Amino acid sequence: MKRKIIPCLLALALAAALAPSALAAAPPSACYPTSVTRSEDGAQIRKVYDLGPEEDPAGIPRSDFEQEGFHYTLTDLLKQESPEREERFHTETVTLDSKNKDMESVLALLPAQKEFTTDDGLTGALTLKLDTVQVNVAGYGSSTRAVSATRSYPNLSGQDTSYIPKTITDSGRTLELASIDWQTDNTANEDGYAVGDRYTAIATYTGSATSSYVKGYVVTADYSGTVSRIALNKVRYVAIFEGTPLNPVAPEPDLDPEPSADVPAPETPAIQFNWAYVLVPLGVIAAAGAGIGVAIFIKERRENNDEAGEDESNG
Strand partners, 89: 226
Confidence at 185, pLDDT banded by 50, 70, 90: confident
pLDDT of the residue at 55: 86
Confidence at 220, pLDDT banded by 50, 70, 90: very high
Question: 92: Cβ–Cβ under 8 A, 6 or more apart, which residues?
Answer: 114, 116, 126, 222, 223, 224
pLDDT of the residue at 222: 97
Domain boundaries, the chain: 85-137+216-231, 142-214
pLDDT of the residue at 315: 46
- % of the chain with per-residue pLDDT over 90: 44
- CA–CA separation, 155 vs 183, rounded Å? 10
pLDDT of the residue at 22: 46
Lowest mean pLDDT of 44-48, 71-75, 287-291, name the range: 287-291
Residues 124-183: pLDDT tens digits?
A: 999 999 999 999 999 888 889 999 999 999 988 888 888 899 999 998 899 999 999 998
pTM of the model: 0.40
Q: Is 122 helix (H, G, I), strand (E, B) or coil?
A: coil
pLDDT of the residue at 3: 54
What average pLDDT is seen over the chain?
A: 79
pLDDT of the residue at 257: 55
Mean pLDDT of 115-124: 91
Question: 181: Cβ–Cβ under 8 A, 6 or more apart, which residues?
Answer: 201, 202, 203, 204
- CA–CA separation, 135 vs 215, rounded Å? 13
pLDDT at 96 over 50: yes
Residues 186-196: pLDDT tens digits?
A: 666 666 666 66
pLDDT at 311 over 60: no
Confidence at 81, pLDDT banded by 50, 70, 90: confident
What is the CA angle 236-241-242, rounded to 5? 145
pLDDT of the residue at 156: 87
Q: Are 164 and 180 in contact (CB under 8 A)?
A: yes
pLDDT of the residue at 23: 45
Confidence at 270, pLDDT banded by 50, 70, 90: very low
pLDDT at 286 over 80: no
Looking at residue 211, its amino acid is S
pLDDT of the residue at 255: 60
**Can you say whether the dihedral through the CA atoms of 89, 92, 93, 97 is positive or negative?**
negative
Looking at residue 155, its amino acid is N
pLDDT of the residue at 256: 57
Mean pLDDT of 10-27: 54
DSSP one-letter string for 7-50: HHHHHHHHHHHHHHHHHHTPPPPPP--SEEEE-TTSSEEEEEEE
Mean pLDDT of 278-289: 54
